[in-house]
Amino acid sequence: MEKDSEISNASEEQDSQIEGDILEIPSEITLSDLANLMDVNPVELIKEFMRNGFMLAINDVIEFDVASPVARTFGYILDLVDREPSKQAALDSSTQDTSEDLESRPPIVTILGHVDHGKTTLLDNIRNSNVVDGEAGSITQHIGAYQVDFNSNKITFLDTPGHQAFSSMRARGAYLTDIIIIVIAADDGIMPQTLEAIAHAKASKVPIIVAINKIDHPAADQEKVKRQLSENDLLIEEWGGDVICVGISALNGDGVDDLLENILVVAEVSDLKTKSSNDVKGIVLEARTDKRKGILATVIIQQGRLEIGDHLVLGSHKNKVRAMFNDLGNPVTEALPSSPVEILGLSILPNAGDSISATSDERMMSQIIKDNEKDIDDSYQLSEIHSGIESSNIRSVNLVIKTDVQGTLEPVRTSLESLNSEDSRITIIHAASGGVSESDVLLAAASDAMIIGFNSPLEPGALTLATQSNVKLRSYNIIYHLLDDVTKVLKGLEDPVYEDVIEGQATIRATFDIGKGVSVAGFYVNDGKITKDSVVHIYRDQKKLFEGDINTLKHLKDDVRDVKTGFEGGLTVDGFNDYLEGDIIEAHKTVVVE
């Protein structure tokens, strides 16, 4: 008892020595809101969280226990409260949510899955069942999202092309989805694209519902699908897990109502809320130019109530909402949170994932534009901070792994997972066989991950997208080099000792025999560049045939040092002449970093 008293007195004495204002915050708060409350630059706050072992972005949600020690370094003592904000919290009442400021909103749902497992059929079934006969002619109207009524509750569905588009929006910072439905055909089971969809869904960290489709098919095997789900760390409720699994037939509608009921249950448990303030915020899903109407943008409203005549800000551009249309093409005068709406009145064509803000007060537009410009500057600084994460003391890394064949995948994965320890961690976001694709790069960008390729070819466009997205892409053909590099990254070194950089990719379009047993490969550069000092890897049907040095490199009849994207050239390689049209050439360059 005496010892406990000493500890208590010591703790009280330590607290009494800490001087600073007391801030009352809820159990969870976004980093940007915390920065505003403390009147601290968000970039400085990000750095301090990193020093404490947390890699966070400006819009991430932080728990009270994580925020408290960091706030003390800025001279603030946090107090947990879930009621009206205190006078200190009122320093920025516009960013502090209370129960009185919040209102419930409908869930936003995205459907992912394999290309022919019934996603579109399910969406059509849900939408058709929610459209009255008189409106059926308008159902061809496509604005990228739609809202349905079920049991007096609204549900918003994002009609995205697939997990690649979904992850692309996440990579741009557009976190829209509240629930993800993964559709799996009962007669097919989990396919490669299903595994990618699962990886993208897990990375988004939102609730997942599995819809086993085609349960009326003669070859349907729901138990097989459930086993495959457990093998991929998705344990359904029936087997003691937390993933809801519903059997459906998207074609005839069996089980669809059950699926919708479960969406509402998950939404109720998630307690989805949004601000009821007049400040309107939203995300652009897609945009197009109409010959008669001009620029039209499909927007999901995240917060507030958008009305015709509101002043709308997109980046640094001022606009005015002239007209709005719902998913049936009917004109509407207002759009509520979670509602999809098509807006007329933009002066520029936005990109998918762009944020919009709106206000009824024209004088507020200038302030919103200034805030947007500041957010862009902060994002740039944050990208610099994140790029230096490997040199900090945070020993954690996210990986996307691609290997040449399925048989190689498990040994590589097992070897990497063996590097985990008490003070370092590897999280494998996705692992599969095949070439490194643009979808892999988008997943890595959205998950702050690095791509590891082991004897895996690079698909067209992946290298360019990786460069644009600042995604690190590394290729290996020796397992101990791969493990050594990842170990160095975990230990906090800036760069590994060995690095195999893919400079470019080309397709062989013609072959020429020039005599003396020598053949020339005529190629077209799809991505990057082919340089004279490259080591080329030659692939056929995704299998590597040869690896060697370039002997001669030409553009037309001239000897050149490199051939870049969009140009044709010819090369000879020491020790290889068996070229075929359609073969893939990858140019590699080994970089040794001290």
Task: Say if residues 472 and 440 touch (Cβ distance below 8 Å).
Answer: no
Burial annotation 126-153 (CB, 10 A radius, 16+ → b, else e): bbeebbeeeeeeebeeebbbbbbebeeb
Q: Indicate the pLDDT class of residue 83, thresholds 50, 70 and 90.
A: very low
Task: Say if residues 529 and 503 touch (Cβ distance below 8 Å).
Answer: yes
- The DSSP H or E segment spanning 227 is helix 222-231
In angstroms, the Cα distances linking 449 to 161, 409, 502, 570 are 23, 18, 18, 36
List, for residues 191-201, the tens digit of each pLDDT value: 888 888 888 78
Cβ neighbours of residue 98 closer than 8 Å, sequence gap 6 or more? 83, 84, 85
pLDDT of residue 332: 93
SS (H, E, C) 458-499: ECCCHHHHHHHCCCCEEEECCHHHHHHHHHHHHCCCCCCCEE
pLDDT of residue 566: 93
Q: Does domain 280-371 have CATH number 2.60.40.10?
A: no
- Of the listed ranges 2-16, 155-169, 325-339, 389-403, the least confidently predicted one is 2-16
Q: Indicate the pLDDT class of residue 591, thresholds 50, 70 and 90.
A: confident
Both tokens of residue 229? 């789900």
CA–CA separation, 446 and 432 (whole Å) = 18
CATH number of the domain at 501-592, please? Answer: 2.40.30.10
The number of beta carbons lying within 10 Å of the beta carbon of residue 219 is 9
Both tokens of residue 445? 């960008």
pLDDT of residue 290: 79
Q: Indicate the pLDDT class of residue 261, thresholds 50, 70 and 90.
A: very high
Domain range annotation of the chain: 2-100, 104-275, 280-371, 389-496, 501-592
Backbone angles phi, psi at 443, to 5 degrees: -65, -45
The number of beta carbons lying within 10 Å of the beta carbon of residue 531 is 17
Could you please report the per-residue DSSP string of 354-407? -EEEEES-TTHHHHHHHHHHHHHHHHHHHHHHHHTGGGSS--EEEEEEEESSHH
CA–CA separation, 212 and 216 (whole Å) = 11
pLDDT at 465 over 50: yes
For residues 278-305, give the mean pLDDT: 85
In angstroms, the Cα distances linking 537 to 148, 494, 573 are 52, 28, 10
Average pLDDT value over all residues in the chain? 79
pLDDT at 203 over 70: yes
Task: Say if residues 492 and 580 touch (Cβ distance below 8 Å).
Answer: no
For residues 571-576, give the mean pLDDT: 90
Quote the radius of gyration of the chain (alpha carbons, Å).
27
pLDDT of residue 375: 53
pLDDT of residue 223: 93
pLDDT of residue 101: 65
- Of the listed ranges 90-99, 268-277, 544-553, the least confidently predicted one is 90-99
pLDDT of residue 132: 43
pLDDT at 14 over 90: no
- Of the listed ranges 187-201, 351-365, 472-486, the least confidently predicted one is 351-365
pLDDT of residue 140: 37
Of the two residues 65 and 524, the one the predictor is more confident about is 524
Both tokens of residue 259? 């699926």
CATH number of the domain at 104-275, please? Answer: 3.40.50.300
The answer to whether 104-275 and 389-496 have equal CATH topology is yes
Of the two residues 247 and 87, the one the predictor is more confident about is 247
CA–CA separation, 79 and 351 (whole Å) = 41
pLDDT at 521 over 80: yes
For residues 448-477, give the mean pLDDT: 87
pLDDT at 304 over 50: yes
Both tokens of residue 123? 């969406």
pLDDT of residue 93: 39
For residues 42-56, give the mean pLDDT: 74
Q: What size, in residues, is the chain?
A: 594
pLDDT of residue 513: 87
**Class in CATH terms, 389-496:** alpha beta
Q: Which percentage of the chain shows pLDDT scores above 90? A: 26
pLDDT of residue 432: 85
Residue 334 class from Cβ within 10 Å (0-12 exposed, 13-18 middle, 19+ buried)? Answer: middle
pLDDT of residue 361: 67
Q: Indicate the pLDDT class of residue 129, thresholds 50, 70 and 90.
A: low
pTM score, whole prediction: 0.56
pLDDT at 328 over 50: yes
